[in-house]
Amino acid sequence: MRHRHHLSQKNGASALMKTRSLSNLNEDFSRRDFMCCGALLFAGLLGAPGTASALNFKEGLSNPCEGERAWTSAERDLIDAAFAGINASNFIDIHSHLLGTGDSGSGCHVHESLYSIWQPIEFLRRKQILSGACVKEPAGDIDRQYVTQLTRMMNDFPAGAKAALLAFDHAHDDRGAKDLDKSTFHVPNAYAKSVAQTRAPRFEWIASVHPYRNDAVAAIAKARADGAVAVKWLPSAMNIDWRDARLVRVYDYLAQTQMPLIAHFGAEKAVKGAHRDEFLNPLHARVPLEHGVRLIVAHAASMGNAPDLESMSKRSTPCFDLFARLMNDRAYERHLLADTSAVFFCNRDASVWQQMLRNTHWHSRLLHGTDHPLPGVWPLYDVEALVDANVLNADAAPTLRRIRRKNPLLFDFVLKRSVRFGGSTLSASVFEARRHIAQTG
């Protein structure tokens, strides 16, 4: 049996050295090798619906990171048009991942499986995440590069525009103890707070506290006092059962303070962790909603299928359809929201794009999110597919592609301002979403 050891901050450096003793094979993984096995690996890595054919390999695999190149007049015109009518001081990207290896003393860490060529999907996952963030290896400067590149991209936005940086707690077992072997990565609240506060003109921060922890409520209260604007959970990776009685105290605190909870529903491919996919059924959202929690459904549950727990047959149903059922339930109009991160990736069905645009009665409850660094993971966006689905004007496609090469976050925003269906676009309120996370009381 092959044993996997967790990379704690204390022993992370030595473990990485041992991993890299596999010679330079890790870092010399060539473009030819990437292309040879890329489609097969990406099918598992990025979650195309059924096969890798839904992903876009026509434009390459790696982020070209051309951020130093000047904007052309056509690019600037499209960017300016996207910001027209939007108050930048209310602009927020509600779903931006903060990642690191802990090489700066940040306390971040990454599971060693992501460094093993014998686990090719995990190995490729790390490669693509770093490429998406324009971070270069070898390790030793990953933390600093990640924050520097993210700040550079945000500085292309007008003054006042911000991104909310996500902390990420460990997976925990059913007893409430840290499950280090199932923690794909960890980003401490203290680090997210530090990065956001030292770069306050560009960032807010979002805490992550596992609800099975004995100190869960106290830890969330401390994070709120320290300026956290929301709490983030990824139930499948972290092992969070929405029905567990220990969550009631957390629900009650979140309802009392109206501090939003951002939670993933629908299929999850980027972070495996505890592999508890049954916790991603959108219908489980009824539990926190019935407790009065303000719930932001990450990615609008836009990928995968789940059993319809409210039907006799329990038939497999698109997660997005289950999410839509909740969004259309008037009982949840005040508490159920969703973010737009990843929604327009090419591993989503075209009907999802069309419904997000057509259902204008949802727009006041949608919040812009990018899922950074994923907009820089090249096969995840296919502008041509959006044109073919009649949600994007073909004339805008070449300029959008060029913007993405320089700044994937700006591209993600401009794209979402450019898509339309049946005369409907995403309203400005989707991007002026800071009102949804403003602390009260």
**Alpha helices (H) in 258-393, listed in sequence order:** 286-290, 319-327, 350-358, 383-388
For residue 274, the model assigns a pLDDT of 67
Which structure tokens are listed for 46? 């990025």
Which structure tokens are listed for 398? 């070449």
For residue 137, the model assigns a pLDDT of 86
For residue 172, the model assigns a pLDDT of 97
- Tell how strand 420-421 and strand 424-425 pair up: antiparallel
Residue whose C-alpha is closest to residue 124's, from 16, 34, 7: 34
The answer to whether the beta carbons of residues 235 and 272 sit under 8 Å apart is: no
Q: What is the pLDDT of residues 79-134, one digit of tens each?
A: 999 999 999 999 999 999 999 999 999 999 998 888 888 988 888 889 999 999 99
Q: What is the pLDDT of residues 340-355, one digit of tens each?
A: 999 999 999 999 999 9
Q: Given a cut of 50, is residue 18 above it in pLDDT?
A: no
Mean pLDDT of the chain: 89
The answer as to CATH 3.20.20.140 being correct for domain 12-436 is yes
DSSP 8-class letter at 84: T
Cα–Cα distances (Å) from 404 to 63, 69, 244, 328, 398, in that order, read 9, 12, 42, 34, 10
The rounded Cα 102 to chain-centroid distance in angstroms is 20
Q: What is the pLDDT of residues 412-441, one digit of tens each?
A: 999 999 999 999 999 999 999 999 998 765
For residue 9, the model assigns a pLDDT of 40
The answer to whether the beta carbons of residues 303 and 348 sit under 8 Å apart is: yes
Instruction: Return all residues near 84 (Cβ < 8 A) that are at least 6 apart.
Output: none
Cα–Cα distances (Å) from 326 to 173, 286, 343, in that order, read 29, 8, 17
For the residues 252-266, what does the mean pLDDT come to?
98
For the residues 369-373, what does the mean pLDDT come to?
98
Q: What is the pLDDT of residues 151-175, one digit of tens each?
A: 999 999 999 999 999 999 999 999 9
Q: Given a cut of 60, is residue 364 above it in pLDDT?
A: yes
Q: Given a cut of 70, is residue 143 above it in pLDDT?
A: yes
Q: What is the pLDDT of residues 39-92, one digit of tens each?
A: 445 545 555 444 444 777 788 789 999 999 999 999 999 999 999 999 999 999
The answer to whether the beta carbons of residues 340 and 356 sit under 8 Å apart is: yes
The mean-pLDDT minimum among 208-217, 218-227, 310-319 falls in: 310-319
For residue 45, the model assigns a pLDDT of 53
Phi, psi torsion values for 95, nearest 5 degrees: -140, 75
Q: What is the CB neighbour count within 10 angstroms for residue 27? A: 11
Q: What is the pLDDT of residues 229-254, one digit of tens each?
A: 999 999 999 999 999 999 999 999 99
Domain ranges for the chain, please list them.
12-436
Residues 29, 209: Cα–Cα separation, whole Å: 36
For residue 268, the model assigns a pLDDT of 72
For residue 115, the model assigns a pLDDT of 85
Which structure tokens are listed for 134? 């324009």
Residues 160, 430: Cα–Cα separation, whole Å: 16
For residue 190, the model assigns a pLDDT of 99
For residue 36, the model assigns a pLDDT of 41
- Tell how strand 109-110 and strand 185-186 pair up: antiparallel
For residue 271, the model assigns a pLDDT of 72
Residue whose C-alpha is closest to residue 140's, from 6, 16, 301: 16
pLDDT band at 4 (very low <50, low <70, confident <90, very high): very low
- pLDDT above 70 covers a percentage of the chain that reads 86
For residue 273, the model assigns a pLDDT of 66
SS3 47: coil
- pLDDT above 90 covers a percentage of the chain that reads 77
Q: Given a cut of 50, is residue 14 above it in pLDDT?
A: no
